[in-house]
Structure 1
């Protein structure tokens, strides 16, 4: 008898995951896509293994359970606070960390002010529960899940609506797209419409850490000829570079920077109030 794949999984921390089937897709952006960067080279990618992806980023409440169980201190708490931007320069603020990101939040919000390195400790702890093997998504897995079978700039089409994403809709819209509102703040995780595969907040609200490393080719372009950006590649994961990839855009980003193909990097020690993460489960 053929076994049926469980389509949804909920763990003891209350994190809900949905099953993503293996498949082949075009990663990167189409030629002529408004806002396209050189490092979004269009290429064919195959993911040979299915995986479960968390339907929202990890929430404050889910992170709190980890901290309560382990007394874990984040890098922000140990190193003078998370970063904020002051006159286009980043500075640490000793009062800013995951439980006090500089704005009001509840346990339903996406946790921020967390470094890539902090996340690895969370994953190690979570994997000790023997509920599956958790990790960050690869960059290719993230874009595959974000696109959800689409080839348009956004999973909801050629224009991004504030019904589908929490972002700054008042400037840098794609040509032909109407201006939208700017909420100027984060929303609780999963507040808006999901993408066609049932994933929330893949565009906007918080940037999301990925497993891949990255190197810069120029000031404005990532190296494109790495293992992730070869045509016909299977299950790519870039392990070379001093930075980590982030995807998705955030509540303060414009539409161009919330596109499915856009790539951002940060040092793995960075922690900001606009960067969160979601997990996948093998």
Structure 2
């Protein structure tokens, strides 16, 4: 990590680094953690079924919910210091970009758009670039919108890129 502090998001990790971490975590816990798909990430950032339609995760005013170039003093901040979104999730707009499981393909998204409503698309099976979402501490608000995406090669590391894990629901029975 570029910035110190136990409560700051991990950053300067590649998509490949995240996969190595997930593999080890799953071996230690016996669970099935993973990165969210891009669709899952956006659904969560927008507040799920409780969405109010905000541009940023929990507000149209980024300063209320995220860290970006105007308020970050050019560094990451501890998580949970701003307001959460409608689902109670913090820091999905700004602070650090978050790797998603998906490969990036404009053609894939164009095809989904032609089909109309597509429920929980999984992204293309292969590609050159992986998707990152959420924006980062050094960016203007436009890049911290729930709808914005960026890309990186799987081995790319940057001080504005980290990851967030998901743990799929497993019913007991």
TM-score class, shorter-chain normalisation, is 0.7 to 0.9
Alignment length (residue pairs): 164
What CA distance in whole angstroms lies between the structure 2 residues aligned with 1:211 and 1:228? 20
1:212 maps to which of 94, 102, 105:
102
- The CA distance in 2 between the partners of 1:216 and 1:225, in whole Å, is 6
**Matches of residues 89-168 of structure 1 in structure 2 within 5 Å?**
98=1, 101=2, 103=3, 105-148=4-47, 149-161=51-63, 163-168=64-69
Question: Contact 1:208 / 1:277 at 8 angstroms: preserved in 2?
Answer: yes
SS at match of 2:143: helix
Contact 2:57-2:65 within 8 A present in 1 as well = no
Structure having the higher Rg:
1
More helix by share: 2
**Long gaps (5+) in structure 2:** 169-173
Q: Deviations over 1:130-188 (max 9, x none)?
A: 44210000000000000001323123333322x3111123xxxxxxxxxxx45222101
Normalising by structure 2, we get a TM-score of 0.85
Q: Which structure shows the higher strand fraction? A: 1
* DSSP-derived class of the 1:150 partner: coil
CA RMSD of aligned residues (A): 2.0
What TM-score comes out, normalization by structure 1 length?
A: 0.54
In the aligned structure 1, how far is the partner of 2:114 from the partner of 2:161? 24
Structure 1 residue ranges without an equivalent (≥5): 1-97, 170-180, 218-222
In the alignment, the residues of structure 2 paired with residue 212 and residue 126 of structure 1 have an alpha-carbon distance, to the nearest angstrom, of 20
